[in-house]
Amino acid sequence: MSSASKISNAGLATLLAALAMLGPFSIDTYLPAFPNIQATLHASPLEVQQTLTAYMLSFAVMTLWHGALSDAFGRRNVILAALAVFAVASFGCASVHSIHYLWGFRILQGVSAGAGMVVGRAIIRDLYAGAPAERLLSLVTMIFSIAPAIAPILGGWVVSFLSWRAIFLLLFGYTVVLWWASYKYLPESLPMDKRQPFSAEFLWTSYKNVFKSPLFHLKAGTIAFNFAGLFLYVSAAPAFITQHLHLGPDQFGWQFVPSVGGIFFGALAANRLAGKMTVWKQVSIGFCFLIGASLFNVIFHYFSPPILLWSVTPLFFYTFGMSLVAPGATLLVLDLFPNIRGIVASCQSATVTLLGAVIAGVVAPALDHSVLTLALGQFACAGIGAVMWYTGRAYWRALTAQKQNAWETIE
């Protein structure tokens, strides 16, 4: 067991949210610095854009392993090791003098940044079940939502008054403080007798079982495509803000504050609704917001050029719906394989980040020439997510009925 000091539920939620914040801080904070990085490192816009793709791909690949490592070596140990690696990578990013070295250190950041997010979900499910788990997960989301709101604003200020290198130095300092807090307060939720062997045979069997499960793909795909609709706008933020809305690098808050406001209030609503209605009903309400907001976004920009308030308001309602869907859907994914929750959390996170890497590297550059095409892309993501969710529900009902009929036949 851990030697960490005892921590309250609110304290645990705050610490897990702070760990999960490494992801958005690593992405959103440096977006306003793209032109400065391009000028300083004598790189093309595409080369700078690929620093985000390199981060997302390495993040996605490594999320497949954070959970497996934590299942074998303990949740706390994996988080502490990952934070140490991220600190080194952040200092390296601040020191580079070529775009290729920046790619390398961004890959190292991606390898380590996802541990807190992935392992944090497993910690919550280790310690809690049902409505308490959903409430704690939504509370983490509420606190976590601060990061995407302040990250681009902070990045814009730093670039305006200091240098893009200072952004990565701030990440280095944040990580050092976070390592100390985790060492002192983060509990070990997986005792030695419940750990799984870190062997090739066991891992192969576990990953094969997860990825062979149609329910896993449908439920995890729901979360991934809902997030992809938001991440499309995150990836396209430099074009959306500066080219289409004609705002400056210190005004990224116009996009990110509504988005994060929706995440916060959606998580608050999910927290209040936990235990008061079924997960299926809560997710259906969430999809009403997701589909409605993205459809309005398409219709408005089909008939009108971008207008600041009207172009960013749909992002609030989209992320509100996304936050209503995510907690219940995430817990249902984790409960598919209770004995290897770490691996399941890794696989679920990998689906989100792999799709995010495709969005950042392929879809966003193809669609960011127009606000209408961005809106259509978001609507498509929400629609695919809805189809996957309701297909998964129908599949689960058919599977349950089949099992029931089998038991009746035996009896």
Residue 1 has pLDDT above 50, yes or no: no
Residue 249 has pLDDT above 70, yes or no: no
Model pLDDT, residue 118: 76
Q: Which domains does the chain have, with CATH numbers?
A: 9-402 (1.20.1250.20)
Model pLDDT, residue 234: 82
- Distance, in Å, from the CA atom of 20 to the CA atom of 154, rounded to the nearest integer, reads 18
Question: Count H helices, E strands: the chain?
Answer: 19, 0
Most confident among 198-202, 292-296, 352-356 (mean pLDDT): 292-296
Residue 250 has pLDDT above 80, yes or no: no
Residue 141 has pLDDT above 90, yes or no: no
Q: Which of 217, 219, 212, 224 is nearest to 354 (CA)?
A: 224
Model pLDDT, residue 185: 79
Q: Cβ contacts of residue 372 below 8 Å, gap of 6+?
A: 298, 301, 302
pLDDT band at 5 (very low <50, low <70, confident <90, very high): low
| More confident position, 30 or 195 | 30
Q: What SS3 state is found at 138?
A: helix
On average, the pLDDT of the chain sits at 80
Q: Which residues of 232-253 are buried (b: 16+ CB within 10 A; e: fewer)?
A: bbbbbbbbbbbebbebebbbbb
Please, is 134 exposed, middle or buried when counting C-beta atoms within 10 Å of its C-beta (0-12, 13-18, 19+)? Answer: buried
* Rounded average pLDDT over 117-136: 70
| More confident position, 348 or 175 | 175
Residue/partner pairs of 182-186 with CB below 8 Å, 24 or more apart: 182/15, 182/19, 182/76, 182/79, 182/80, 182/83, 183/4, 183/80, 184/4, 184/5, 185/4, 185/5, 185/7, 185/11, 185/15, 186/2, 186/4, 186/7, 186/15, 186/75, 186/76, 186/79
Q: Which of 174, 40, 27 is nearest to 109 (CA)?
A: 27
Model pLDDT, residue 289: 93
Residues of the chain with pLDDT > 90, as a percent, come to 12
Residue 361: count other Cβ atoms within 10 Å of its Cβ: 18
Model pLDDT, residue 131: 64
Residue 2 has pLDDT above 50, yes or no: no
* Rounded average pLDDT over 280-301: 90
Residue 314 has pLDDT above 80, yes or no: yes
* Rounded average pLDDT over 13-34: 78
| More confident position, 287 or 353 | 287
* Rounded average pLDDT over 293-307: 90
Model pLDDT, residue 376: 93
Lowest mean pLDDT across 89-103, 107-121, 242-256: 242-256
Q: What is the pLDDT of residues 170-225, one digit of tens each?
A: 889 989 998 998 888 777 766 666 666 667 777 788 888 888 888 888 888 888 99
Distances 382 to 92, 298, 356, 389 between C-alpha atoms, Å = 37, 12, 14, 11
Q: What SS3 state is found at 132?
A: helix
- Distance, in Å, from the CA atom of 7 to the CA atom of 22, rounded to the nearest integer, reads 21
Residue 56: count other Cβ atoms within 10 Å of its Cβ: 26
Q: Which of 152, 144, 341, 120 is nearest to 242 (CA)?
A: 152
Lowest mean pLDDT across 81-85, 91-95, 253-257: 253-257
119 CA to centre of own chain: 13
* Rounded average pLDDT over 34-45: 79
91 CA to centre of own chain: 23
* Rounded average pLDDT over 256-262: 82
Q: What SS3 state is found at 277?
A: strand
Residue 408 has pLDDT above 50, yes or no: no
Lowest mean pLDDT across 35-39, 182-186, 273-277, 291-295: 273-277
Q: Which of 136, 108, 109 is nearest to 123 (CA)?
A: 136
